[in-house]
Structure 1
Amino acid sequence: MAEVTFDRGDDLNALSVQAMEELKAAADLLSRDTSVSAVLLTGGAVFSAGADLGDPALRKRSSMSLLEQREAVRLGPDLCEAWARLEQITIAAIEGFCIGGGLALAVSCDHRVASQDAHFRLPEVPLGMNMSWRSIPRIVALIGPSRAKELVVLGQKVEAEKALAWGLVDRIVGKGEANDAARALARDYCAVPPIAARMAKEAIEASAHSLAYATSFMDRDQFLLSRTSKDHEEAVRAFSEKRAPKFGGD
């Protein structure tokens, strides 16, 4: 069993460029480790608030050429893909909230174990952006298309009990107990013959996600396009001013 902990020691645990690069590097390293049968991904007091919008490295993208921006925004989907393609069983232990890119990363894992006070939210579409990082096929596979529309399009907060009923998470435990519960599940997987387990996971993933790339390969271009819309500017402005937005479809 291996454990990867992402904890910035604050109340957001946001995903900076550096954090995403390190998390991807951790997955790439583990992909070559034949001694590990299960991998835990844990956060701090909260799992993650998503992308760190205050990160200078993210803000720098606005001055890049379009081609450079397109290359830069590969990091999010590449991070999630690195975790999704691990042959070991992966388990995300979620305390507190799991928002935006944090949820995209969590659904890239095989299992999600959440504390009873955890909640989940995708604010991207209400802010005039698409939901990217190739996460939509994974979300649809977990909760179905109707519930995916509630989660993705409406951006509503989903509490732990509803997330369990929907299939977004697999276990709910007491506050502060997610890591221990995830380790217990990992130990169950570690007791299974590793070659057979890896082959079974590969077959299941191929069955569940055979069209995932075909339905999500354009989402980084959609992200770049949606970020240029007036509706996105209005959504962000309205959020900052604490008022209802007025969208014009532009």
Structure 2
Amino acid sequence: MACNCMAATTASTMRWPSQAASAGSRPAISVATIRPMDSAREVVQTRCMARKACCMNEMKRLKTGIRLKTLQTGRTPLRGGHHTTTGSLKNRKLIMKDTYNLQRFVDAQQPLFQQVLTELEAGQKRSHWMWFVFPQIQGLGRSDTARHYAITDLDEARAYLQHPVLGPRLEQCAAIIAPQVERSARQIFSSPDDMKLHSSMTLFSIAAPERPVFQKVLDTFFEGERDAMTVNLLSR
């Protein structure tokens, strides 16, 4: 009896409003009648999921395009059409693996590099910086300082030249003294730093013959001749 009452109640509550006046004229809505509504809801959900997947694929495509553009140009697109250069000093420091601890030269030069330039332009070295401004090959200097700033081999010399700070600085210093033909290396650097200059310019002229400024220094002060001891150490 209770089951009949519940069935009657369910049937009465599931009729359309227009059926209220004539309950007996139309049948009650069955479960089969409701199913199309559920299917429509599923269709909407499926479309939403498809749109979301499409958006995610589009984002991946854009990110891939940005990476490819960065690899091709070395520049990372930013908002507003601006770019940042991956070769900038800040980025290079982040990505460069300092295998040879070249930072030791940067740290030593930083407080007095302007003074170095002033002395070179005046044609007279007055303070102590030769070891880390014009470094030479390992095996020549015997002091702790000389050993600390010695270049181990040609690979380190090339890494030094490719460094975004050290390479340009060395070329700048060499370019300042190369035209000073009226003075000797000993007059500018005193002894034994004139020999250190000879060794340093020999090392870097061999490491990077495509950079002519180092050979120009050898031509100006040493009749174009390379330092024999440096050449001998590099040949081992």
Q: Fold conserved (TM > 0.5)?
A: no
Q: Which has the higher contact order (CA 8 A, sep 6+)?
A: 1
Query: TM (normalized to structure 1)?
Result: 0.28
Higher strand share: 1
Higher helix share: 2
Q: Which has the larger radius of gyration?
A: 2
